[in-house]
């Protein structure tokens, strides 16, 4: 969903126009289908401070004329900062950009990157209300950034991560660690656990999030932010509306 192109300065650095060269400082294989790229400006400067939830556009410097034209959006998956960007990418079968990045881009290579954009951002002023973040599959990336932005600074943060199984996880351990430290309430749904994955250990609940589960487990007077595919966001949105959550407290993005 890339309807609005909003680029504004939030920190000390003004947004650049169009694309800017970024060096891949680190490439991490998170799981069978997800990898992460850490990107820093090739000129050594600072980056535009993103708001949690925003995304960047990426294109590659390829000798292939067709590939050079491909632009894809990726949500920033790290705590907002002025030093680097981090994107976590799910490999798409037959997908142009994801396969190119996985197979051709390595540490030290240069990508072209837009400043952060997007209106799916966390309103940090409403601190008194419970904050509920829900991520479906790779849609966890923008809500992870929101989590990093607030974790430890306020009470009543709920994080719900719904994913197929460990083959498509990213940063699940960090979420569990926050829960163990008592910093957040977290619930992990595996929709299709692998044979060796154990309920109550690897994940909390098998299957999909339902309206009934939301009603019983999440504070309906809170502020909801969620991201996932169309099916996931529709299910959560419809459930919340049917449960009487005010529209103003429902924020989502799908891709
Ligand atoms: C705001 C926003 C944020 C996003 N954030 C993330 C993120 O954090 N992480 C992430 O992984 N993704 C994210 N995405 C999705 C990302 O932008 C890409 O769409 C995704 O990575 C797929 O890109 P691709 O070039 O590999 O696939 P594409 O080449 O665009 O292919 C997409 C699909 O179409 C199929 N396809 C391609 N060509 C054909 C054809 N000729 N005939 C039939 N089918 C075809 C492919 O098999 C694939 O299923 C985000 C998208 C948006 C809009």
Give burial (CB, 10 Å; 0-12/13-18/19+) of 196: exposed
Give the residue from 148, 175, 173 showing the smallest Cα distance to 160.
Answer: 175
At 192 the pLDDT is 98
* pLDDT over 70 at 5, yes or no: no
Give 95 Cα–ligand 1 centroid separation in angstroms: 6
What's the mean pLDDT in 46-63?
96
Does any ligand 1 atom lie closer than 6 A to the CB of residue 73?
Answer: yes
**Which residue, judged by its Cα, is nearest atom 14 of ligand 1?**
74
pLDDT range class, residue 2, cuts 50, 70, 90: very low
Q: Name 226's bridge partners.
A: 134, 252
Q: Which residues of 99-130 are buried (b: 16+ CB within 10 A; e: fewer)?
A: ebbbeebeeeeebbbbbbbbebbbeeeeeeeb
Percent of the chain with pLDDT over 90: 91
8 A C-beta contact, residue 56 and residue 145: no
Give 120 Cα–ligand 1 centroid separation in angstroms: 19
**Which residue, judged by its Cα, is nearest atom 40 of ligand 1?**
94
* Residue among 7, 59, 98, 142 whose CB has most ligand 1 atoms within 8 A, to mutate: 98
Does any ligand 1 atom lie closer than 6 A to the CB of residue 96?
Answer: yes
Does any ligand 1 atom lie closer than 6 A to the CB of residue 94?
Answer: yes
At 127 the pLDDT is 84
Q: Name 224's bridge partners.
A: 132, 250
- Can you tell me the distance from the alpha carbon of 101 to that of 82, in angstroms, rounded to the nearest whole number? 24
**pTM (2 decimals)?**
0.94
Give residue 227's Cα distance to chain centre: 8
Q: Encode 70-118 in three state secondary structure.
A: CCEEEEECCCCCCCCEEEEEECCCCCHHHHHHHHHCCCCCEEEECCCEC
At 7 the pLDDT is 57
Give 92 Cα–ligand 1 centroid separation in angstroms: 7
What 3-state DSSP class applies to 130? coil
**Which residue, judged by its Cα, is nearest atom 10 of ligand 1?**
89
pLDDT range class, residue 11, cuts 50, 70, 90: confident
8 A C-beta contact, residue 125 and residue 150: no
Lowest mean pLDDT among 7-11, 131-135, 150-154, 192-196: 7-11
Q: What single-letter DSSP state applies at residue 14? A: P
DSSP 36-76: EEEEEETTS---PPPPTT-EEEEEE--SSHHHHH--EEEEB
* pLDDT over 70 at 203, yes or no: yes
At 190 the pLDDT is 98
At 13 the pLDDT is 87
What's the mean pLDDT in 202-206?
97
pLDDT range class, residue 71, cuts 50, 70, 90: very high
8 A C-beta contact, residue 188 and residue 175: yes
Does any ligand 1 atom lie closer than 6 A to the CB of residue 186?
Answer: no
Torsion angles phi and psi, residue 201, rounded to 5: -120, -65
């Amino acid at each position: 969903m890339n309807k609005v192109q909003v680029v504004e300065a939030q920190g000390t650095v003004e947004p650049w126009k169009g694309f800017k060269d970024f060096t891949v400082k680190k490439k991490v294989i998170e799981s069978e289908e997800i990898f992460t790229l850490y990107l820093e400006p090739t000129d050594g400067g600072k980056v535009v401070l993103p708001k949690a939830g925003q995304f960047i556009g990426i294109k590659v410097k390829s000798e292939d004329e067709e590939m050079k034209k491909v632009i894809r959006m990726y949500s920033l998956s790290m705590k907002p900062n002025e030093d680097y960007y981090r994107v976590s990418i799910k490999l798409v079968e037959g997908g142009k950009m994801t396969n190119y990045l996985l197979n051709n881009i390595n540490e030290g290579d240069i990508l072209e990157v837009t400043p952060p954009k997007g209106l799916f951002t966390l309103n940090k002023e409403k601190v008194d209300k419970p904050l509920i973040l829900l991520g479906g599959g790779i849609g966890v990336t923008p809500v992870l950034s929101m989590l990093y932005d607030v974790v430890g600074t306020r009470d009543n943060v709920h994080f719900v991560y719904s994913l197929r199984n460990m083959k498509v996880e990213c940063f699940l351990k960090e979420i569990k660690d926050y829960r163990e430290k008592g910093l957040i309430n977290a619930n992990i749904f595996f929709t299709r656990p692998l044979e060796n994955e154990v309920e109550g250990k690897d994940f909390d609940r098998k299957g999909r999030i339902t309206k009934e589960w939301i009603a019983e487990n999440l504070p309906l007077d809170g502020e909801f932010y969620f991201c996932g595919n169309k099916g996931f966001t529709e299910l959560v949105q419809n459930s919340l509306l049917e449960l009487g959550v005010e529209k103003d407290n429902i924020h989502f993005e799908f891709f």
